[in-house]
Amino acid sequence: MQTLEQLKSGTLKGSKSVKLSCALSAFPLEILDLADTLEILDLTDNQLSKLPDNFYILRKLRILFISNNQFTSLPTVLAQCPQLSMIGFRNNHISSVAENSLPLTTRWLILTDNHIEKLPDSMGDLSRLQKCMLSGNKLSTLPPSMHKCQNLELLRIAVNNLTTLPSFLLTLPKLSWLAYSGNPFCEKHPQHTQTSLPEIRWGTLKIQEILGEGASGEIFKASVDHKEVALKVFKGEISSDGLPQEEMDIHISLGKHPHLVDVLARVIGHPEDKDVLMLAYIPSHFFNLGLAPTLESCSRDVYPEGFTLSLSHTIKILQSMASAARHIHAQGIMHGDFYAHNIMIDHEANSILGDFGGASYYATQAKHVQVALERLEVRAFACLIEELLQLCQDKDTYPHKRDQLIALKEACLQKQNDLRPLFHSIYQILKEI
C-alpha cells in the first residue's frame, strides 16, 4: 500500500497500480497525473463519495476498487473509461444506478451490500459481463434486458427482495455459478432445517491453530475428548454469497456423504456469541485442488504452476464429485460455488467438497425449475472437467478414455440448458469410463 505523501510528491509517477487507504474524504487529483500508466486503482476503506468529472482521463485503468466508502450513487463517469473491466463498490450506500453508467467493457461488477432497489435496463448492453455480485441489496427484480448478457457465468443475488427467481436466468447459455438464498421466494425444507444436532459448549473445546478463512467465517483446528475436529466460526455478516445463517442451515440439511464435509455438532457459548459449527477434521495431507479465480481469470479457477494429474486420478476426482453433486441435488440444494478451489484432495485423489456459502435451496420450486437449476451446476461441472483435462499429463496415452471425457464435457457445456445431462447420468457415465 502506498501513502498520500508519496502520491503528492510524485514518487508514484509511472505506477501501474496504486492502493491508498488513509481516510480520504476527497479524491486526490494527483492520481489523474498517472493517466499514462495507471491500470489498477484501489481506494477501499476511505470516506469518498464522488469521483472527479474528468476521471475518464485514466484511459489505461482496467480495475477499480472503491469498497467501504460513502458513495450514494454509482458515478456515471465510469461509462467513459475506455478500458475499465472490473468495478468494485461493495459496502457503500449506493441506492441508484443510472442508465448507461457502466462502461461496455465491464467484465466483473461488484455492488454487494448496498441499497440498490432497481438496476437500469442498460445492464443488458454489458455483453462482456462474466461475473456480477449483487447480494445484499433491495432488488425486487432484475431488468429483463439482462437476458442479453450471454457471457454471464457467475451471478450473486442473495439477500435481496426477489419474490420470484427471474426465469430468464435459466436460459443464459453460460451461467454456471448462481447464489440466490435469503430472498422472499426462497422457502426452506421444513424436514431438513429442523435436523437435530448434538450441542457442544465452546469451553469444552481445545482451540488450536487457524486453518483458513473464507467470505463467511474462519476455520480452526480443535480437539474434544482427544478427537481432532474443525470449527467454522461464522462472521455473522453478509458475504458476497449470502447470509452465514443460511449457510449453516444448508450445511446441516445435506446429511452425510463420503465426499462432503460432515457436520458433527453445533457449538454454543462462543465468547462473542458467534454461530459455530463443529465439522469433521480434514487431515493435513489434503490440499486444495485449485486456486480461486484471479483478477485476470475472472470466473475461472487457476492452478499452481507445474501441478499435474494422471488420467486415473482425474477420473477418480470427477466420479467422486459427480456423486457428491448428485447427493446435494437430491436434497433440493444447489452448491452455487462448484469450483476446484472448494475441493480438497490428497495424493491418492481422494476428494472432499466443501464451502456451502453460495448454496441455495430449490426443492419448493416447480419441477422444471429444479431440473434447470441442476443443469446450471452441470455446466460448472463441465468447466471442472475441462480444467482437469488440461492438467492431465498422460491423457494421450489413453485416447479412448480421454475422448469419452471430452464428449461428456461437451454434453455438459451445451448452450441449451435442457440438453445437458443430470448428475445421476453423469455419475453413471464416469463409472463406465
Mean pLDDT of the region 267-277: 90
103/107 Cα distance (integer angstroms):
9
End residue of a domain, out of 280, 295, 317: 280
The whole-number average pLDDT for the span 34-38 is 96
Domain containing 399 — which CATH number? 1.10.510.10
Question: What does the pLDDT look like over 410-431, one tens digit per residue?
Answer: 999 999 999 999 999 999 999 9
pLDDT tops 50 at residue 361: yes
In a domain, 362, yes or no: yes
Summarize pLDDT for 331-344 with one digit per residue, the tens: 999 999 999 999 99
Q: Is the pLDDT of residue 241 over 70?
A: no
* 91 falls within a domain: no
Domain that holds residue 379: 287-432
Residue 250: what pLDDT? 87
Nearest of 371, 429, 423 to residue 257 by alpha carbon: 423
Most confident range (mean pLDDT) of 41-50, 291-300, 349-358 is 41-50
Do 272 and 304 belong together in one domain? no
- Could you tell me if 198 and 255 lie in one domain? yes
Same domain, 275 and 239: yes
Asked if residue 97 is part of any domain, the answer here is no
Q: How many H-runs (helices) and E-runs (strands) does the chain carry?
A: 7, 19
pLDDT of residue 296 exceeding 50, the answer is: yes
Residue 138 predicted with pLDDT over 50:
yes
Task: State the pLDDT at residue 108.
Answer: 98
Strand pairing category for 40-42 and 177-179: unpaired
For the chain, the domain total comes to 2
Domain CATH number, residue 243: 3.30.200.20
Instruction: Please report whether residue 34 resides in a domain.
Output: no
CA distances from 193 to 29, 249, 251 (A): 53, 6, 10
| Per-residue pLDDT tens over the stretch 198-222 | 899 999 999 999 988 877 788 999 9
Is 163 within the bounds of a domain?
Answer: no
Shared-domain flag, residues 291 and 274: no
pLDDT band, very low/low/confident/very high, at 195 (cuts 50, 70, 90): low
Q: Specify whether 419 is located in the same domain as 344.
A: yes
Residues 425, 301 within the same domain: yes
Predicted local distance difference test score (pLDDT) of residue 190: 47
Characterise 149 by phi-psi region: left (phi > 0), alpha (psi -120 to 50), beta (else). beta
pLDDT for residue 194 is more than 90 = no
C-alpha span between 55 and 72 (Å, rounded): 18
Instruction: Based on the fold, state whether residues 367 and 238 are members of the same structural domain.
Output: no
DSSP SS3 for 432: helix
**pLDDT at 192 > cutoff 80:** no
Contacts of 424 (CB under 8 A, 6+ apart): 326
Residues 293, 270 share a domain: no
Quote the pLDDT of residue 239.
65
The residue out of 280, 302, 327 marking a domain boundary is 280
The verdict on residue 350 lying in a domain is: yes
If asked whether residues 209 and 265 sit together in one domain, one would say yes
Same domain, 291 and 275: no
Q: Quote the distance between the C-alpha of residue 5 and its chain's center.
A: 36
- Residue that terminates a domain, selected from 250, 280, 310: 280
Give the mean pLDDT of 297-322.
96
Regarding whether 205 and 326 lie in a shared domain, the answer is: no
Asked if 264 and 304 sit in the same domain, the reply is no
- Domain assignment of residue 404, yes or no: yes
Residue 88 resides in a domain: no
pTM of the model: 0.93
Work out the mean pLDDT of the chain and round it to a whole number.
93
Residue 154 has pLDDT above 60, yes or no: yes
Q: Sheet of 351-353: strands edge to edge? A: 287-288, 343-345, 351-353
